[in-house]
Structure 1
Amino acid sequence: MNTYEAIPVAPASLPPPSVSFREAFNFWLKLGFISFGGPAGQIAIMHQELVENRRWISERRFLHALNYCMVLPGPEAQQLATYIGWLMHRTWGGIVAGALFVLPSLLILIGLSWLYIAFGNLPLVAGLFYGIKPAVTAIVLQAAHRIGSRALKNSALWAIAAASFVAIFTLDVPFPAIVAVAALIGYVGGRIAPDRFKIGGTHGNSEKSFGPALIDDDTPTPEHARFRWPGLIRIAVVGSLLWAVPMGMLAALYGWHGALTQMGWFFTKAALLTFGGAYAVLPYVYQGAVEHYNWLTPTQMIDGLALGETTPGPLIMVVAFVGFVGAYAKALFGPYSLFLAGAVAATLVTWFTFLPSFLFILAGGPLIETTHNDLKFTAPLTAITAAVVGVILNLAVFFGYHVLWPQGLGAHFDWISALIALVAAIALFRYKRNVIHVIAGCALAGLTLKLLLA
């Protein structure tokens, strides 16, 4: 197993000693259980551990890898872990780092999804989720604000965001179509008015130094990380087989229109549309899972996002909840194998959602390491990011509608949910409270109010 070599010396003056595969494995496993806080929190944890404390990689090399992951569709924190694991310990290092970033979350969500679907009608569980739903609405609204404040730098980008909101809210335009049109606008706009579509959003370079690193600024690229056409072709072939074989087996066993087959196909498409993070693709998941396939209800979708927010790992892991609930509710393996159906579906959708992320890193990493140039967003990606803001705002409106008017607009307005949502928004926007703390506080508030008003 090839690793970067370094002589064991005092940590403050010289690079740390070579990292064994086992030592790296233990770290990635630990990271999988502590990676709370969404992509920003997860990247901050990796930076503190890998750059500042352990000095496995330098600040500049860390940001160089992160800039590439920011360009890709998919969860950038998971891809960054895969990239660094691959850089240190070849292909298996990347696979282990990326898989352990996801596996704890998958196991936890399978357990939570089962508790939710099997015991969700109990007063205790119902009370907790009564408070969580308004908190999720505030969290999604904050996500729209956070991304918008970073992405909408001029009137052209504001117009794209507004148009995307109108398109998905009033015209029900599919999310892939919005992405395609935004990319086209960005491509044309970047040529006509380049100043309006200036590159932005990357993390840039940094001159910070925390001491000599194992993979330092001037550390030569190892042999396995050098770009070669045979290596790219080999990864493309293996990746295609890893997708085609399980998809073919599902189609042979259940038919193309079988629920598990359609889940695999649907979440493969979703994996390629996650520009802008998980919140950007959630409307697409909602359109397919709730409106088209009827795998779960709008309320269950909100609850699933709440569970995803409170577990470690990428937020896009909410797809495991969608798969579990869809297979469990439809009893795909019969009435006596409900948990098995849910667990299999959750595992399958996780496979098809994250497989592209591994291929992007293993195939593109050698080219990025060879160039060592800073990657920047193109004009189409700038426009896509602006469109994503409108899409996420639509998601917040959707959640707010189902939380504040649970029986529909013609029924009563839920003032208690509105108050909880307001308090959650103040905690997030004004006091910058942690998402998990907000969800926990709102869950307890919802349970208390439910018991008092029962």
Structure 2
Amino acid sequence: MSETVQAAQGSTSHPPPSHGVSLGEAFRVWLRVAALSFGGPAGQIAVMHRILVEEKRWISESRFLHALNYCMLLPGPEAQQLATYVGWLMHRTLGGLMAGGLFILPGIIAIMGLSWIYALYGKVGFVAALFFGLKAAVLAIVLEAVMRIGKRALKNRVLVGIAAAAFVAIFFLDAPFPLIILAAGLIGFLGGRANLPQFQVGGHGSQSAEESDNLLGEHLPDHARPNTGRSLRIATVWLALWLVPVAALLLLLGGGNVFSQIAVFFSKMAMVTFGGAYAVLAYVAQQAVETHGWLQPGEMLDGLGMAETTPGPLIMVLQFVGFMAAFRDAGALDPLVAGTLGGLLATWVTFAPCFLWIFLGAPYIEVLRGNRSLSGALTAITAAVVGVILNLAIWFGIHTIFRDVRPVEWGILSFDAPVWGSVNLWALLLSAAAIIAMFRFKVGMLPTLAATSAAGIALYAAGAMG
């Protein structure tokens, strides 16, 4: 692996990083981020922002949002890619591998264990109960992140308007996520090119002293400078890591084998998962049930429940699909062994491209931070992202507090509204308690998480969640 890392970095030895954060300390922090990565992308971004920007002060607000904007434009889970980006920025390729790998490790372990239980016993309801209280605290963390990021990013009425328009477009009009981001970017690009002051607020490249008060500073590290030879090596290494196993399975087992089908199908999914997991889950469910026969109707929702209540990206549900596919078509292998291999294969071809996008594209994104036109584009995208995170926060809140939702269509408007009679009283009370604790009494994130988790376990033990 070290040779691969060196090949991807283009060098065999490097001076110690100027920020002074050791790999050991970074490992502990990224492990903490991974353990708290609940609540979908909104919750995960909120946790990273709180730890990396507010608590550790490793990276400035503007640079964090700059990286997030790029990750929002990529296929795949933006929170995992953001962790990879910051890890790479601090400790080169090894740091990116560590941050991005640790981010998905708890989810891999949890989903794999639950897949075994599901395949053998068919019920994993206790897991939802176990994380019931945790989700209440995550909702408070998400809301706090929306307010904090919004306060710093929306410095004028134009940016507030862009955020509001992005929220309306995605929540009420079901507009495609990439279209929202591209539209905001175009508006900001033109505004920046015209040197309009509304699109230069907190500009990327002209940070305030407060924003520059971080360990990374605002300079461009040597490894973050674009290099054509290094880019070619990175592309070669990561395309091989991703696609050589796929080609090998096709050659050795043939296109009709379940492992070949998993490798090809989820490699395609890795290329089109723009806008998060929900953008493709309906298609994956349809193909897994109707075309391939990997799942029974309704089982995709069971897998989604696993992914929603365990740490890691929501797209980890694809590991469950791969597990069940191979489990039910094991051939000469033991079904549980086949399922384990199928789940890990689906995970590999889903996440290997994520590292490719970051290691290949991040250097070019970093050098654009001082460009006026692109600064304007990213400032506008930042505003749109606030609206998108607000949408995710509302979605998460609705699904945390209410048991059922119903589709509402009114002209061009279309959205899911909560069924008021389905309110989960315990979820509402725990969420309110977490919000009051964090906003009113300034209780820290970890104590709030611990308290609501303990409350959720106590409710389950008392039979109050039946």
Match of 1:261 in 2: 264
Aligned-partner residue type, residue 267 of structure 2: G
Among 438, 441, 445, the residue aligned to 2:455? 445
Give the Å deviation of 1:357.
0.9
Aligned-partner residue type, residue 387 of structure 2: G
Match of 2:397 in 1: 400
Match of 1:169 in 2: 171
Alpha carbons of structure 1 residues 245 and 183: separation in structure 2 relative to 1, 3 Å: farther
Partner SS state of residue 313, structure 2? helix
Match of 2:100 in 1: 102
Match of 1:88 in 2: none
C-alpha separation between the residues in 1 aligned to 2:150 and 2:61?
22
Give the Å deviation of 1:63.
10
Match of 1:277 in 2: none
Match status 1:428 vs 2:438:
yes
Partner SS state of residue 131, structure 2? helix
Aligned-partner residue type, residue 185 of structure 2: A
C-alpha separation between the residues in 1 aligned to 2:167 and 2:211?
40
The C-alpha deviation readout for 1:155-192, integer Å capped at 9, x for no partner, is 22222222222222222112111111111222233345
The C-alpha deviation readout for 1:36-89, integer Å capped at 9, x for no partner, is 6733355369967xx8xxxxxxx9xx999879756642544532332343xxxx
Aligned-partner residue type, residue 154 of structure 2: L
The C-alpha deviation readout for 1:267-305, integer Å capped at 9, x for no partner, is 3445xx6xxxxxxx5xx322222x332388678657635
Match of 1:383 in 2: 380
Match status 1:417 vs 2:408:
no
Answer with 229-238 or 387-396: which moved more. 229-238
C-alpha separation between the residues in 2 aligned to 1:115 and 1:391?
32
Matches within 5 A, 1:39-438: 39-40=48-49, 43=52, 69=67, 72-73=70-71, 75-85=81-91, 94-119=92-117, 121=123, 124-191=126-193, 194-200=196-202, 202=204, 204=207, 229-242=228-241, 245=244, 258=261, 260-270=263-273, 281=275, 284-289=276-281, 291-294=282-285, 301=304, 304=307, 307-308=310-311, 317-319=312-314, 321-331=316-326, 334=329, 336-337=335-336, 338-361=339-362, 364=364, 368=367, 378-408=375-405, 409=419, 411-438=421-448
Q: Give me the TM-score of the superposition, normalised by structure 2.
A: 0.67
C-alpha separation between the residues in 2 aligned to 1:306 and 1:247?
30
Alpha carbons of structure 1 residues 383 and 416: separation in structure 2 relative to 1, 3 Å: same
C-alpha separation between the residues in 1 aligned to 2:96 and 2:340?
26
Give the Å deviation of 1:434.
4.0
The C-alpha deviation readout for 1:323-378, integer Å capped at 9, x for no partner, is 323323555663623333223222332212222111224x549x85xx9x957761
Structure 1 unaligned segments of length 5 or more: list them: 7-14, 52-58, 86-93, 274-280, 309-316
Alpha carbons of structure 1 residues 170 and 259: separation in structure 2 relative to 1, 3 Å: farther
Among 31, 34, 54, the residue aligned to 1:33? 31
- Verify the 8 A CA contact 2:401 2:423 in the aligned structure 1: yes
Give the Å deviation of 1:196.
1.9
C-alpha separation between the residues in 2 aligned to 1:160 and 1:63?
19
Give the Å deviation of 1:99.
1.2
Alpha carbons of structure 1 residues 412 and 197: separation in structure 2 relative to 1, 3 Å: same
Alpha carbons of structure 1 residues 69 and 411: separation in structure 2 relative to 1, 3 Å: closer
Alpha carbons of structure 1 residues 128 and 205: separation in structure 2 relative to 1, 3 Å: same
Alpha carbons of structure 1 residues 442 and 304: separation in structure 2 relative to 1, 3 Å: farther
- Verify the 8 A CA contact 2:262 2:346 in the aligned structure 1: no
C-alpha separation between the residues in 2 aligned to 1:226 and 1:387?
28
Alpha carbons of structure 1 residues 328 and 133: separation in structure 2 relative to 1, 3 Å: farther
Answer with 30-39 or 145-154: which moved more. 30-39
Match of 1:91 in 2: none
Give the Å deviation of 1:103.
2.9
C-alpha separation between the residues in 1 aligned to 2:160 and 2:217?
40
The C-alpha deviation readout for 1:98-144, integer Å capped at 9, x for no partner, is 21223334333222223344558456534223323333333333332
- Verify the 8 A CA contact 1:323 1:345 in the aligned structure 2: yes
C-alpha separation between the residues in 2 aligned to 1:173 and 1:344?
32
Alpha carbons of structure 1 residues 234 and 24: separation in structure 2 relative to 1, 3 Å: same
Partner SS state of residue 3, structure 1? coil
Identical positions, percent: 27
- Verify the 8 A CA contact 1:319 1:349 in the aligned structure 2: no
- Verify the 8 A CA contact 1:405 1:413 in the aligned structure 2: yes
Match status 1:4 vs 2:15:
yes
C-alpha separation between the residues in 1 aligned to 2:314 and 2:423?
30
Structure 2 unaligned segments of length 5 or more: list them: 1-11, 37-46, 72-77, 289-298, 406-418
- Verify the 8 A CA contact 1:135 1:438 in the aligned structure 2: yes
Q: Cα RMSD over matched residues? A: 4.5
Match of 2:416 in 1: none
C-alpha separation between the residues in 1 aligned to 2:16 and 2:125?
58
Alpha carbons of structure 1 residues 135 and 248: separation in structure 2 relative to 1, 3 Å: farther
Answer with 27-36 or 100-109: which moved more. 27-36
The C-alpha deviation readout for 1:184-218, integer Å capped at 9, x for no partner, is 222233345712212426583769999xx9x9999
